[in-house]
Structure 1
Amino acid sequence: MSQEDEAAATRRDVAAVESSRANRGWWDRNADDYQQEHGGFLGDDRFVWGPEGLDEEQAGLLGPAGDLKGRDVLEIGAGAAQCSRWLAAQGARPVALDLSHRQLQHALRIGGELRLVQADAGALPFADASFDLACSAYGAIPFVADPVRVMREVQRVLRPGGRWVFSVTHPIRWAFPDEPGPEGLSIAGSYFDRTPYVEQDEAGRAVYVEHHRTVGDRVRDVVAAGFRLVDLVEPEWPAWNRQEWGGWSPLRGQLIPGTAIFVCERDQ
C-alpha cells in the first residue's frame, strides 16, 4: 500500500468515481518515483507478475511463448509497458492501456514499437472481440470499486476462447500490517473486512484507494463476468530474490502468499 506524504490513512467506503479520480491523480504524481524505485527490478522488457519475481517467460500463464506470435494482446494497467514490450518481442501485437498519462510517458521514454492508450479499464475503447488475450500485472483491478465492470469489459473485447490473466495483492495480506519485517507477521484486522483502504488529504478527499476482495469474492467476480477460472497461482518467494517491495519481503514471502494470479478463459 502507498506511503503518500501528508496523507492520512483510513478505511472507509469510496464511490467508483472518487476512487478512479484519486488513483489517476496518485499515479500521475508518483509515476516518476515508482519507475525510479522499481524500474530496475521490472526491467524495460520483462513480464513480471509481482514482487516475487515470477516471470511470464517461465510461468507461461498466457500460454507457451512460442504461441504468442501474431496474437492481439491487451495489457491493462500497463504502467511503463514493460510487459507489453516483452510480448512484442515474442511476436505478439500488444496494446498497452493505462489510466495514468504520466505512466504512459514513461512507456514512451523507454521506447519500442507499441500502441499506447490512455483510458479507464471500466470503459475500454475497443470493439467487441478485438483481442486474443488480456493481461494485467497488478494493474487496475486492485484499484477499482467495481471489478466486475472491468472484467465484463475485458470479456467483451476478447474473442471466444480468449484468456484473461491478472495478478493482485493476495487477499490474505489484508489481515496483516503492511510491513516487511517481523511486525508484519501478526494478524491486525479481519480478512473479511471489505472496507477500502484510503489515503486522504486534509479536506477528506481521497488521494489513493485500494479495494479489498476475499479469494471467494475474486472467484465470484470472474464467474459473474462470464469467465471460467482455469487456475489460481500463488507464487512462492524464490531464494534469489532478496528485495523488499513495500510490505513484500523474503521474510514474509517464505510464510504467507503475497500475490494471487487468476488465470481465466472466455468460453467459446
Structure 2
Amino acid sequence: MTNDADVPDVATDDAALTDHAARNRAMWDGFSDEYQAKHADDLVVCGGLAWGTMRIPESELHVLGDVKSCDVLEFGCGAAQWSIALAWLGARPVGLDLSERQLQHARKLMADAGVDFPLIHASAEAVPLPDASFDIVFCDHGAMSFADPYRTVPEAARLLRPGGLFAFNHDSPIETLCWPPGADEVGDRLALDYFGMHQIEDGDEVLFNLPYGEWIRLFRTNGFVVEDLIEPRPKPDTVSSYRSDAGLAWARRWPSEEIWRLRKTQDPT
C-alpha cells in the first residue's frame, strides 16, 4: 500500500453504515473540536507515540516494534497524531476514521508536520481497501472501542499480510463492568453483566467490549495468535486530561486499559 492513488478518499455510503456506526459518526463529528482542544497536549506526549488515556510511551511498551518501511493502517485515527509520528519513523501509514471532522483536524496537523499520507473516511467494519495490504493494523481506542469487534477483527485479518501484526488498546472488561452508562466516573462495584457483554449504549454513543473467552475465540477464528496482553498501569506521578485523580487511583489498583498484540498466522477458518 504505497501509492496514494490506490487509496479512496470517499466516505462510506450512509446506506452501508450500521446503525451504531451512523450514531457514533454523528457523535464524533459534533464532539471532535472539543475533544481535540481538551486533549491536544496529551495526544502529542512522546511525540504522539504513547498509548491510551494514561499516555504510556511506546518506548516502554514496545507494542508496534520497528515500523520503518512498514505499511500501517490506523483504525480510528482521529486527528492522526499516531500516524504522523509513525510517518516520521519511516512507516507508510494510512489513517482511517468514521468522522469527517476528525479527519479535517488530521489534515491540518499533517500539513503542520510536513507529512502526507492517505486518509480514508470510512468505517473499520467495512474498509474499502484490498486484501493483504498492510504489515500492521493498529488502534489506540478509536475504532476498536466504537465499532463491532465481530466486524472489525475479520477486517483486520483480511487487510493484513501473512505474519502481520494487529495491535489495539481499549477499555478492559473490568473497567467496562464498573463504569455503567451515564456515569461520570468508574466505580468500585460491578454494575453490568459480564456474560453476554457486547454492545453498550451510552447516551449518543455506542461502545463495544467482550468477555475474555469471546475475544480469544474471535481471534482464533480469524487466524490470529495472541503474542501479548499488556495491562498498562499509571505511575504515581501520571496526570491525564482524560482521567480524574480518582480515576487514576482506580487504574493503579485494577486494569483500566489493555493492549492486545496479535499475529496473523493463517487464513480465517
Give the alignment's TM-score, normalised by structure 1.
0.83
Deviating above 6 A after TM superposition, structure 1's stretches of 4 or more consecutive aligned residues are none
Deviations 1:58-105 (A, max 9, x none): 321112xxx321111111100010110111111010001111100000
- Cα displacement (A) at 1:227: 0.9
User: How far apart in 1 are the matches of 2:166 and 2:107?
Assistant: 25
Deviations 1:35-80 (A, max 9, x none): 11111111184122211212223321112xxx32111111110001
Q: What amino acid is aligned across from residue 131 of structure 1 in structure 2?
A: F
User: How far apart in 1 are the matches of 2:123 and 2:27?
Assistant: 15
Are residues 244 and 214 of structure 1, via their aligned partners in 2, closer, same or farther at CA, if it must alter by over 3 Å? farther
Are residues 193 and 123 of structure 1, via their aligned partners in 2, closer, same or farther at CA, if it must alter by over 3 Å? closer
Give the alignment's TM-score, normalised by structure 2.
0.83
Deviations 1:213-244 (A, max 9, x none): 11222222222222111111111112231225
Equivalent residue, structure 2, for 1:97: 96
User: How far apart in 2 are the matches of 1:88 and 1:221?
Assistant: 31
- Residue number among 122, 125, 130 corresponding to 1:122 in the alignment: 125
Give ranges in structure 1 of 5+ residues lacking alignment.
Answer: 1-15, 201-206
Equivalent residue, structure 1, for 2:256: 258
Count residues in correspondence: 242
Equivalent residue, structure 2, for 1:220: 217
Please state which structure has a larger fraction of its residues in helix: 2
What secondary structure does 1:263 align onto?
A: strand
> Does the aligned pair in 1 maintain the 2:73–2:134 contact within 8 Å?
yes
> Does the aligned pair in 2 maintain the 1:141–1:168 contact within 8 Å?
yes
- Cα displacement (A) at 1:137: 0.5
User: Which structure has more RCO (C-alpha within 8 Å, separation ≥ 6)?
Assistant: 1
What secondary structure does 1:165 align onto?
A: strand
What secondary structure does 2:260 align onto?
A: strand
1:158 partnered with 2:154: no
1:28 partnered with 2:29: yes
* Aligned pairs (5 A) from 1:34-183: 34-43=35-44, 45-63=47-65, 67-111=66-110, 112-145=115-148, 147-177=149-179
User: How far apart in 2 are the matches of 1:41 and 1:83?
Assistant: 12
User: How far apart in 2 are the matches of 1:71 and 1:90?
Assistant: 10
User: How far apart in 1 are the matches of 2:51 and 2:222?
Assistant: 22
> Does the aligned pair in 2 maintain the 1:174–1:191 contact within 8 Å?
no
